[in-house]
Structure 1
Amino acid sequence: IYRFFKTQYPNKKTAIFSSWIDNRTKLLGHNLPAAGNLKVDQYFDGYELDTAKFKHDKARDFMNKIDEQVITEASITIKKDAPDLSWIYLEYTDDMGHMYGDSPQFTAAIKKLDEQLGKIYDAIEYRKKNNNEDWLLVVTTDHGRDEKTGRNHGGQSQRQRSTWMVSNYPQLNSYAKYYNPAIVDIMPSIARYMNVEIPKANQMEVDGTPLIGEVSIADASVNYIQGNIDVSWKALSNTGTVKVWVTPTNNFKTGGKDDYQLLAEVPVTDKHAFVNVEKYPSKFYKVVLEAKNNMINRWIVLK
C-alpha cells in the first residue's frame, strides 16, 4: 500500500512509528531497489538498538518503554504534521505472550496497549476537530496463539490463524458484517478509502476484500474435478457479471507475469461457474473472480 500510495500521490506524506526497525528497512523496503526505492517521509524506529537509553532486561520491560516512546512520537507527529499514511507497530504484548502465554502478565500488557492506543485515538480526534479532516484508523494483530499455552504461533490451527480488527469507520459493508473478514482485507480497504487505484495485474494478486464501500461477491470457493474447476461465490449484488480468470503458474511470486485466461463470464447472481482447464495441465492454479466492485483470488494445489 505504501508503494501504490506514493506512486499515485508522490507529494503526499508517509510515516512509520515502530518498535522494530525491520518493519521499515525490510517489510516496507525503505530505499531498497527491490521495493522500487520506496522512501518513507518520516520514520521513528530503531530504538531497540539504543541499549543505553533502553537497557535490555530479561523481563523485557525495556520493550514497554520503547512502545511508550513510539506512541509519544506518533501522537506528536499526528497532531503536528498529520502524515497521510502511517503505520504504528508495538511489540510488548507479543513479548509477554511468548514469555507467559495466557496469563495475568499478558492481560496486563494488553491493558497497557489499550491506554497507548487511546493516545493515538485522541491525536486523531484532535486533527478531526481542529483541521476538519477525515481519518481511518485500523487496529489489528498479525497472528493468533496456540491453543495449549498461548505462547506460540505459526501453525495452522484456528486460534493461531485467527486475528481481530478494530476500526473507527462508521459503516462497514455487508462483507465485513456477515462474512469472515481477515487482516488481508485491510490493505484494499485503505486503498479504497484513500482513492488509491491498484493496477489490475496487482489487484489480481491481492488476497483481501475491501471492508468499506460496495462489494459484489464474497466467500468464494474453488474445487478441482477431473480437469475442471468448480467455482462458487456468494452474491452481494444483483447486477453485473463475474469473470473467471485462471492461470497455471505463479510467476508473480518472483517478479514475473502470469498469463491469465478468461474461461467464463456469467451473471453474478448465478453464484457458480464450471470451467475446463484440460488445456492448461498443472498441479497448481490461481483462480481470480472479477466482479463489478471487487475481485477475489483463490489457489488450487493438487497433491
Structure 2
Amino acid sequence: MKNILLFITLSISTITFSQKKKVLLVGIDGLQLEQLAKVNTPNFDKFNIKKGFNGGLLGTDSQQVTSSGPSWVTILTGVWADNHKVTSNSPNQVSASKSVFNYIKTSNSNLKTASISTWKNINLLLYKDMYLVDFSTQGGLDDYSTKIAVDLIGEKGLDFIFIHLDDVDHAGHAYGFGEKYSSSILKMDENIGQLLKATAHRNKNFNEDWLVILVTDHGRDAKGFGHGNQTISEKTIFVGLNKKGNSFFESVNNDKKINSIQELEKQTIPQTAVVPTILKYLNIPIKNEWKLDAKPLIN
C-alpha cells in the first residue's frame, strides 16, 4: 500500500510541476542584422542572435528570390521554393508544402495555434493550412498585431503563435538605412518587449516554458532600400533564441567576415531550420517523409 501511495504521489508531482512547452515565433520583416547592432535594443539583447541565410542554395534547384513571399513560406514550411513552389510576393499562389501549423495540428490535435500576419499575403500563401489554425488575422498594423499576440499569450493558453511585424521593412523601402530605419528598430524593440513580458507572465503564473524565436525573412541591398537578389547582404538574415541552442547554433560566429555567398551558406543558419526547431521543442517527432531541409537548432 505504501508503494502504491508513493507511486501516486510521484505521478501527481510530475503532472503538477512539469512545465508545458510553448513557442512564440516573432517574424520581423526586412531587418538587417548589421543595422540591428547599431541601435540600443534592450529587448533584442535578451536573445542569442545568430547570422543566417535565405534565398536557398546558390546555383541549385533550391535557389529562390530574396523576397518576402518565398522567404516567409520557407520559414513556415521548413523547405525551399523548389518544394513549396512559391516564387514571388503574389498572393495568387498557394504553398505546395505543408506548414508548421499542419505538422503541429495533425501530430497533436489538442495543441492550439495562431497566425497573426500583419502582411496578409503570408496567410494567403498558406491558405490550404489556415483551416487548421485556431486563430488568425490578416493585415493591420504592428501595434495592433502585437496587442493581439499579447492578449492571446495571456488569456487563451495557445501552444504556438506566429506573429509577423512589418514596419521595419516599410522604413527600409521608403528611406533606406538611416535615422528612420533605426527608429523603426527601436519601435520594434518595444513591441518585442511587450511580447516577452507576456510570455514571462505565463512562465511564472501558469507553469509554462516559452521558447521565443526571432527571425527575419531577408536582408537588404547596400543602401537598405531593396532586396530580392542573390547578394551577401540580401541573403543575410538572423535567427534569435531566448534559450541556449545546440552546438551548431552556438558555433556560428557573427563576427567572422563572410567573403562569398558560399561561405554564408556553409557557415550560418539556413532559414529552413525554424520549423524543425519548433517541432523539436513541442516534442513532435519529425518524419522523414516531410523532407524538411534543415535540422533543429536545439537539443
Using the size of structure 2 for normalisation, the TM-score is 0.59
2-structure distance, mates of 1:104, 1:82: 38
1-structure distance, mates of 2:247, 2:282: 20
1:198 is aligned to 286
1-structure distance, mates of 2:102, 2:218: 24
Question: Secondary structure of the equivalent of 2:240?
Answer: strand
AA aligned opposite 1:187: V
1:10 aligns with 2:109: yes
1:22 to 111, 121, 146: 121
1:173 is aligned to 246
State the shift of 1:182 in Å. 2.9
Question: Secondary structure of the equivalent of 1:43?
Answer: strand
2-structure distance, mates of 1:177, 1:110: 25
1:95 aligns with 2:170: yes
The 8 Å contact of residues 3 and 38 in structure 1, kept in 2 or not, is answered as no
**What is the identity percentage for the equivalent residue pairs of Structure 1 and Structure 2?**
32
| Equivalent runs, 1:27-66 vs 2, <5 Å | 27=126, 29=127, 32=128, 35=129, 38-47=131-140, 66=141
Greater share of strand: 1
2-structure distance, mates of 1:23, 1:8: 23
Question: Secondary structure of the equivalent of 2:174?
Answer: helix
State the shift of 1:40 in Å. 1.0
The 8 Å contact of residues 173 and 211 in structure 1, kept in 2 or not, is answered as yes
Q: Which has the larger radius of gyration?
A: 1
2-structure distance, mates of 1:46, 1:162: 26
1-structure distance, mates of 2:279, 2:136: 21
1:207 aligns with 2:293: yes
1-structure distance, mates of 2:284, 2:191: 29
2:153 is aligned to 78
State the shift of 1:123 in Å. 0.2
2-structure distance, mates of 1:192, 1:140: 17
State the shift of 1:67 in Å. 0.7
1:151 is aligned to 225
The 8 Å contact of residues 101 and 132 in structure 2, kept in 1 or not, is answered as no
The 8 Å contact of residues 45 and 70 in structure 1, kept in 2 or not, is answered as no
AA aligned opposite 2:111: K
Question: Secondary structure of the equivalent of 1:88?
Answer: strand
2-structure distance, mates of 1:208, 1:82: 29
Question: Secondary structure of the equivalent of 1:164?
Answer: strand
2-structure distance, mates of 1:13, 1:165: 24
The 8 Å contact of residues 67 and 92 in structure 1, kept in 2 or not, is answered as yes
2-structure distance, mates of 1:92, 1:195: 33
The 8 Å contact of residues 215 and 237 in structure 2, kept in 1 or not, is answered as yes
Question: Secondary structure of the equivalent of 1:172?
Answer: coil
Using the size of structure 1 for normalisation, the TM-score is 0.59
**Unmatched segments (≥5 aa) in structure 1:** 48-65, 214-303
Question: Secondary structure of the equivalent of 2:132?
Answer: coil
State the shift of 1:21 in Å. 2.0
Question: Secondary structure of the equivalent of 1:198?
Answer: coil
Higher relative contact order at CA 8 Å, sep ≥6: structure 1 or structure 2?
2
State the shift of 1:93 in Å. 0.6
Call closer, same or farther: CA 1:208–1:114 in 2, change over 3 Å.
Answer: same
AA aligned opposite 1:81: K
Question: Secondary structure of the equivalent of 2:209?
Answer: coil
The 8 Å contact of residues 150 and 194 in structure 2, kept in 1 or not, is answered as yes
State the shift of 1:107 in Å. 0.4
2:183 is aligned to 108
State the shift of 1:127 in Å. 0.2
1-structure distance, mates of 2:152, 2:136: 10
RMSD in angstroms over aligned alpha carbons? Answer: 1.4
Greater share of helix: 2
1:119 to 171, 194, 197: 194
State the shift of 1:84 in Å. 0.6
State the shift of 1:198 in Å. 2.5
1-structure distance, mates of 2:296, 2:133: 24
Point out 4+ residue stretches in structure 1 off by more than 4 angstroms. Answer: none
| Equivalent runs, 1:215-230 vs 2, <5 Å | none
